[in-house]
Amino acid sequence: MQPLPQNSTCCRRDLLVRAGLLAGVVPLVGAIDGCLITPRQLVKNTHVFGTLSPLGVAPLRLLQISDLHLQRMGSLEQKVLEQLHDSQADVVAFTGDSLDRPAGLRHLESFLRECPQRPHMVAIVGNWEYRSGIATDTLRRLYEQHSIELLINRSIVIEKNGVRVRVTGLDDLIGGRPDAAAALSDGDSVQNHLVLAHCPATRDRLQMPAEHPASLVLSGHTHGGQVAPFGIALVRPTGSGRYVSGWYRDDGPPLYVSCGIGTSLLPVRIGATPELVQIDWSLA
């Protein structure tokens, strides 16, 4: 066998060196992005829901803030507040896991203090509120100080352009006991019904009273997988069911699952950018 020419040997050596460098650089870039870049970004996704409104009739604007996991007031939280100020939302809904430890109370208070007042502001609890050990009454008082109603198996009725909308907040599927019947026991039937349920798997277990079918369900909890390279969620928390993020319109009421804002367990996001959700609902 003839020996390889010297230039061929050099080329092969260069290729091996480059491959080795690439193998080291790619994980490093991914780690930097997952720890320092993506977790601090914010995307606002806007959707239109319902039948087209008559010309000149404004839809009901919903703004969903999910899974804040507040541990500080940093640049990401300021971006969320800026969007809140700009949104002109009719309803702001905090869909659980706003904090995950007692120390988060002071950060939530700071965040709520900077929130602009909107016509209707509501909140529900997630599994981390329960896990934190914070008393529900303590959380309720904090929300009430900032004109936010904490809905735990409870509903209220709001109006937009003379059209009534029922907003129901269910207890968390993991830490609590969601009970739609209790939430709606003393309410009249309303055609437009928004249901807030932190864990999306709640949708598959919803036993809504026949006179109160859900028109739209908003959930969070999954963080879009939090670590989801190429959009593939490697792990989803208990209570996610078959859901990851975005719209689900099969086998049940329309559901939107937010990727949420913060992180849990690890301060990392890969392929799951923090998300603020705006839905313009053309009411029937």
Angle, helices 104-114/75-87, rounded to nearest 10 degrees: 30
Over range 248-277, report the average pLDDT: 95
**Domain spanning 43-282 has what CATH number?**
3.60.21.10
Over range 179-207, report the average pLDDT: 94
Q: Which tens digits make up the pLDDT trace of 67-108?
A: 999 999 999 999 999 999 999 999 999 999 999 999 999 999
For strands 163-169 and 91-95, give the pairing.
unpaired
CA nearest neighbour of 277 among 84, 33, 37: 84
Over range 102-127, report the average pLDDT: 97
pLDDT on residue 27 = 46
pLDDT on residue 233 = 92
pLDDT on residue 68 = 98
Q: Which tens digits make up the pLDDT trace of 234-256?
A: 999 999 999 999 999 998 999 99
DSSP state of 102: T
Q: Which tens digits make up the pLDDT trace of 145-166?
A: 999 999 999 999 999 999 999 9
**Amino acid letter, residue 259:** C
Both tokens of 206, joined, read 């919803």
Residue-level length of the chain: 284
30 pLDDT above the threshold of 50: no
Residues 6+ apart with CB under 8 A from 26: none
pLDDT on residue 231 = 85
264 pLDDT above the threshold of 50: yes
Over range 187-202, report the average pLDDT: 95
pLDDT on residue 40 = 86
**Amino acid letter, residue 30:** G
Q: What is the domain partition of the chain in residue ranges?
A: 1-40, 43-282
Model confidence, pTM: 0.88
Which band of pLDDT confidence, cut at 50, 70 and 90, is reported for residue 11? low
Which band of pLDDT confidence, cut at 50, 70 and 90, is reported for residue 21? very low
Q: Where are the alpha helices (DSSP H) in the chain?
A: 6-32, 75-87, 104-114, 127-132, 136-145, 180-183
pLDDT on residue 8 = 55
Percent of the chain with pLDDT over 70: 86
140 pLDDT above the threshold of 60: yes
Which band of pLDDT confidence, cut at 50, 70 and 90, is reported for residue 170? very high
